[in-house]
Each structure stands twice: as structure tokens, then as C-alpha cells.
Structure 1
Amino acid sequence: MPGGIEIFRAGTHRDDAGNSHTFTRAQLEEMVATYNAALREAPLTVGHPKDNLPAYGWVKRVFINDAGNLAVDPHEVDPAFAEMVKAKRFKKRSASFYPPGAPHNPTPGKWYLRHVAFLGAQPPAVAGLKDIDFMDHATEAVSFSETADAPAPAPATTQPQEQTMSDADKAELERLRADSKAKDDANAKLQNDLKIANEARAASDKAAASFAEKAAADRRAGFVAFAEGEVKAGRLLPKDKATAVATLETLAAVSEPVSFSEGASTTQITPLQMCAWLQGHMSSRTAVVSFGEMATAQLGQGFDARGKTDEEIDQAARRYQGEHPEVSYAEALGKVTSFTS
């Protein structure tokens, strides 16, 4: 239910008993200052029940709006009751106050809001209050047709009867409550189903990420083993091992197949097929390094390239080049890595 509902205004008003009371702006401000929901919370009622029950909502705040009228902000309103008010089943309001000298007044000596009654056919004691607006701008300033000093309505000839809900209204209220509960239950189930689906999706994503991570680690281990085997076979220089592994990993990580044309036909290969092709090509090469015993006459001392680092092989090549100035570095490298039995 929207806030800013007008319930009273300054001026002279006649209560249900036919007695006239004059309220000033200062008294309205006093009502605002004295209202304390924690001390005694005013309920929203249908008609003016003597015991303030049943309550279909509560008054959270009392204030004076921009038009100078006493207004309230409701809260904890029964959804079904709010629907009935929205349907204009109770278009008017009437405020009930504890007089300053009332025995149950929580603030003796001052007026205090007792309840806010919603009326159907029965007119409120204070006429001219603006109807409740359920539009999005319901909390904006409101105005009403009568001025604060308008004459009081004529005395009532009979005591107004306490207004109660008809059987039809009670049945409608129960139906609306049942509909509201059904909607709440359906929404709760939907939220629970959504939570379960999100948890399942998160678990699936986690499992997929874990699988992909393990697959990548397994592929790398395989590429490393392949490169080490090629180094031992003499088809790959030790210094090229890391490059070979990185190249194979990069090819395996390609997300889409690669297509190329062969005459009038188009061939498509997957990233892993490209890796297999490259590995096969590397394995089919002639050994570029022979790890036999190196003749002493070639270097002046024995040199076994097996298990040597790139730096050690480089130093051996430079020593050979120093002993044989006529050869290039590439020739020297070939000499230190080529052995005779």
C-alpha cells in the first residue's frame, strides 16, 4: 500500500458522537511529535472497532504533508486487504484519536492516534481527504478540495453504527489471501528451483574446468616426453626442446579446426591432428646429432655430447672453432655433435 495517506486536517470537525472539536496546525504537529510506534502502534482497521481489532496493517509514521494535512505511512499491510483498497472497496478513511484525558492514552494530556479506519459506504467525519493513489507517484504532495477553515458538517441525527465487513467482503478477502499465498508459494518454489539449477551449473562448470586443466597438463607431459625422446634420438637439439614443447602446446590450444584446399577439395584437420602431423614430421628426420664417442683427434680431447647442456655444447663448438679458424661456427657445431665410432 502506498505511503502518504491523508487521514486528518486542521479545522473544526464533529466526531461520531456529535461533539465539535477545533484542531490547529500546532496540534497536528503535536500529534506527529507524540506518535511512537514502539510505544503504541496504531492499526489499520475496517470501520471503528472498539477494541482496534482486527488489524489489517499498521501505521509506521505520522507526518504533515506539503498540503498541511496529517498523513501516515503504513507497513505490514495484509496483501489481500491492500488489494481490496486498491479495488476501491474502501475509498475513504477516518482517524480515531485518544483524547488528552482518555484513560488509555499513552501520552496523557495530548492527542494520540488510536487507529485509521477504512470506510465503505459510511462517510468519514472529516470530508475532503484525497483518495488513495496507487500510482508510482503516490508519495508526492497531495491536495484536497476543502480548506482548513471550512464549516463543520451538520450534526448527525443518529449515532453512526460501527462498520463491519459483509460476508461477501470477508469471502473476497479470504480468496485474495489464498491467491496471495499461492503466488508466494509458487515464487518460493521457483526461487528454490533456480537455486538448484545454478548450483548444478556451477558444479558442472567446475568439473569441466578441472577436466580441461587435467587434459592440458597431460598433453604437456606427453609433449615434454616426446621432445626428450627426440633429443635422445639426435633429431632435436637440446636448445630446441622448449620451443618444440611450446609449439605443440600452442597448436593444441587452437579452438577451431583448420581448413585448407587441395585442388578442388577442402580438407579440415583438428588441432590435435596438426600436433600429430608435426610430431611425425620431427620423428621422421635424420638425426642431426650423433651421441657416439668423439675422436680425440678432432678436438684434442674426448667429448661426449650426450647429456650436455646447450651452453656446454656451445663452448665445445667455440673451442673447436678456435683450433680451426677456417671453419664457421655452424661447421664447428656440426663437428662437436658428429662422432665417429
Structure 2
Amino acid sequence: MKKVHTLELAKIGRWGQDGAEITRQDLREVAETFAGKRPAVIGHAETDKAPKFGDVLDVRLSDDGGKIYGDVMFLPEAEALYERGAYSGWSVSIPKRGADGKRYLHHVAFLGATPPKIPGLKDLGINYSEGESPEVYQFSGQMPEEGAKMTDEEKKAHEEALKAEKDKAAALQKQLGALKAEFEAYKAENKAPPKKPEFSDPEAAKKFADMEKKLAEVETASRKARLGAFSEAVKGKIPAGLLPKAEAVAGLLEGAGEAEFADADGKPIDWAKAATNM
């Protein structure tokens, strides 16, 4: 299990000996422009060859807009140093982009002997994740104003990939339906209880177990194919940094079982289309 620390990264005010000011607008821009992992490093004097301390996985504003929070996952060696208090403070680098003058998170520097510019920032707690990225669903990245630009060849390749994923999902759904029907018919024929079937014939028991295993395998493959079709449908239409989060949310909805949602007029909602038009 991997630990994910939720930290207060910065807050409004004037800080340090130079009295540098961080405004609400600065924090809004940092949350708005965040669109993917940013490095956590040791000290601000980083170089191209310096290793990272971990990753900032997500950035979001507090409810009152006076702080920004970040979800940070440390490398194992760095986690041990942080827990021992060797690097217990941190400071953000939020320069302005040349393209539009908006502030963005360049990195978070963890500090040891040097105190941070903003005192009193807190570690708000730990979540746990089994994968490389935690299940954090704060959509803080900025949506592109005109959508992603693709060449005709890229559009054609994208459409072909989407069709292939949809065809694969449809074929697996059909196979799954047939297996379920065969499975239920076999239970009925052998008069097996629906919850815990028991067969006196060892061969019948083995066939039942094999069918149950195959059914589970096809259900898993079908679910992956449906999620693959979703990923292809939204690829290129939402920022790359948000794609893993959109896939994670889709996975949660998929895992909840079949459900149908409708708008105020009773028209079914196309979630992939809705996601690309947020």
C-alpha cells in the first residue's frame, strides 16, 4: 500500500523577508493550470540531474479560496526521511507562464535545515493506494478552449481504434450473455441450488466450476473492453493530465453495476459525450 499525504501547499499573505505576496488569484491560477504530476524535490536548487523526492498528484483550492492543497506521494526512501522529520517543511515554486502570465506549480521543495517561507503549513492526513496513483478525483486541470487539434490521419486512427474497442466490447457482451444463459440452464438441469450448488457427480461439479471460472474471466474482459472504449471516446478531448482520473471515475461507475441515468427530460445521458463537453 502506498501512502498519499494531503498537504497545505500555500496560502494567501505576504511571506519571507522580502514580503512576497501570494493572492487568491495566484492560488486560483495554480489550481486551474495544474494538469498532471509535478515533482517533489529536496530544496529549491534543483538541477536536471537531481532525483525527485516524490510526485504531486493533484492540486485544489480550499473552499474559501485562501489555500491550495496538494496530494503528495513520496518515494519509499523519501517517505522514511519525511516520517523521521529530516525534511519536515516544504515550499512551492509557482512562477508565471510565458504564454499567458498565469501562475503554475513548477515543483514543491521539501526542506530540512532551512525553514519554509510560509510557516505553519500542515500535513492534513494520509490516504492509501494500492496502485501507482491514488484514487483522487479532483478535476482541477483546465479544459482546452477549442479541444485538442488532430490531423486527418490522427482522427482516422482514433476513429478506427474507437470502433475496434466498441466491437470488442460488443462481442464480449454477446459472449457473456450466452455464457450466462448456458450457466443458468446447466444449474436448472442439474437442479443445483442457485446460491451454493452441490453436485453428486464429480464431473458435473468440475464442469460447473470450469463454467463459473470462464464466466468470471469473460466478465472481467468485457468490463476492460467497455472501459477501453470509454478511454478511446474521450482521448484527445480532455487534457492528458485528466485522462487517468476520468478513467478511474468510469471504473468506479462500471464496478457499481448496470445503471441508467437520464436528464430532466428523461433522455439517457451519454457519459462519454458529457465528459468531453464539460
- Per the TM superposition, whether the score is higher than 0.5 is no
TM-score (norm 1): 0.34
